[in-house]
Amino acid sequence: MTAIRTVTVHGDSPYTIHIGHGLLEDGALIAGHIRGRHVLIVSDDQVAPLYLPALRQRLLQQRPELLIGEQVIAAGEASKTLDNFARVIDALAGLGATRDACVLALGGGVVGDLAGFAAACWMRGIDCVQLPTSLLAMVDSSVGGKTAVDLPQGKNLVGAFHPPRAVIADTATLATLPPRELRAGLAEVIKYAALGDLRFGQWLAQERPALLAGDSEALALAIAASCEHKAEIVARDPLEKAERALLNLGHTFGHAIETAQGYAAPGSDNLIHGEAVAIGMLLAARLSARLGMATDRDADALEQLLRSFELPTQIPAGLTAQTLLAHMRLDKKNTAGKLRLILWTAFGQACIVPDVDEQAVLAVLRQP
């Protein structure tokens, strides 16, 4: 096992993010966060065969008295549904889970959001330990306590804030992550640079070959830096009353793309979350320039960085500007009748803009 990095998320319910190679093999670390006897491991059908049996075995080695249930969903965004939420709840009921039970979310952000939401709701809230296995989940979704499922009308529309008891990110699992998913996770890493840290952006550009090649040390550094950025913001604003909204740079556009195209399932051509966010960030940068808040040169720099990480930068064919705008109107950041977007004044300087002109948004959405 190599160096373990930790990041603390401060606040009313503080918790630690553990980042290191081989952490899923550390049964004592994981079991140490389980208070009661009931454990439900939630995973998906691509991650579970790789990591779930060994996890179960290590937990039982540490704590033979544990009653461990499993709920495995089909992989992909299309599974982040109320139906699967009900299945996880049924599994907790079947296990007889008491208030000291623990949900272990073993997988990417889909599993993390779904399992976290079930943990938030069962008996009005039980522990959830996030065991993220995708880069995107390690740098973003496992941290901060946002949990949710999607509706056909929009992403993450039903959910709750429910901070995890701990986050344990085993970077060894990234070795089995498909390259496209690794790049999608890197889009969320680039987001931290774009919203608040130009120097981190420069570091990412410099480390690009190592990051794209899956170099474990470069990835661990990127994960730790991303978690530090997110932890700072979440500690100050856990419920997104203000600055936490900055973490949504590119997301209003991105979520609209995901919803309009249909939520991705493995093997489909539909964009996955990180890819949609990449396009969304660039649209936000272009809109900022159109509104006279920033230069096109900054947007060009972002486009170049995203392209160098082999991320998409164009809205997929067939999605009209009007359709996308209609989905953007249902975003959670909006206030009555007004589009509230995260834009920027320069690379690394994002800001919240409360009442964005829809004609300007349409113009950017129409650009080839």
* Number of CB atoms found within 10 A of residue 6's CB: 12
State the DSSP H helix or E strand holding residue 245, giving kind and residue range, or none if neither. none
Contact set with ligand GLY (CB under 6 A):
140, 144, 146, 244, 247-248
Torsion angle of the four alpha carbons 218, 220, 224, 226, in this order, in degrees rounded to the nearest 10: 60
* Residue among 95 and 246 whose Cβ is closer to ligand GLY: 246
Q: Of ligand GLY, ligand NAD, none, which one does residue 134 interact with (CB within 5 to 8 Å by kind)?
A: ligand NAD
* Residue among 36 and 266 whose Cβ is closer to ligand NAD: 266
**Nearest CA among 87, 116, 138, 75 for reference residue 267:** 75
Instruction: Tell whether 109 is in a known binding site.
Output: yes
Structure tokens at 211: 């990051």
Decide if residue 111 touches ligand NAD (CB under 6 A): yes
Q: What is the DSSP string of 319-330?
A: --HHHHHHHHTT
Interface pick for ligand NAD out of 81, 130, 141, 171 (rule CB under 6 A): 141
Decide if residue 17 touches ligand NAD (CB under 6 A): no
Decide if residue 238 touches ligand NAD (CB under 6 A): no
230 is catalytic: yes
Q: Alpha-carbon distance 227 to 17, whole Å? A: 8
Indicate which residue of 230, 286, 290, 327 is catalytic. Answer: 230
Question: b/e string for 213-243 if b means 16 or more Cβ within 10 A?
Answer: eeeeebbbbbbbbbbbbbbebbbebbebeeb
Structure tokens at 201: 């952006």
35 is catalytic: no
Report the SS3 class of residue 38. strand
Q: Of ligand NAD, ligand GLY, none, which one does residue 248 interact with (CB within 5 to 8 Å by kind)?
A: ligand GLY
251 is catalytic: yes
58 is catalytic: no
Instruction: Tell whether 155 is in a known binding site.
Output: yes
- Residue 237 half-sphere exposure, CB side, CA atoms within 13 Å? 11
- Binding mask of the shown chain, residues 52 to 91, with x at each position contacting ligand NAD by CB under 6 A: -----------------------xxx--x-----------
With vertex at residue 62, the alpha carbon angle to CA 56 and CA 67, rounded to the nearest 5 degrees, is 50
Q: Of ligand NAD, ligand GLY, none, which one does residue 244 interact with (CB within 5 to 8 Å by kind)?
A: ligand GLY
State the DSSP H helix or E strand holding residue 116, giving kind and residue range, or none if neither. helix 109-121
Residues lying near ligand NAD in the complex (CB under 6 A)? 44, 46-47, 50, 75-77, 80, 107-111, 113, 133-134, 136-137, 140-141, 144, 146, 155-156, 173, 176-177, 181, 184, 266, 273-274
Binding site residue list for NAD(+): 109-113, 133-134, 146, 155, 173-176
Binding site residue list for Zn(2+): 188, 251, 273
Active site residues: 124, 146, 188, 230, 240, 244, 248, 251, 255, 273
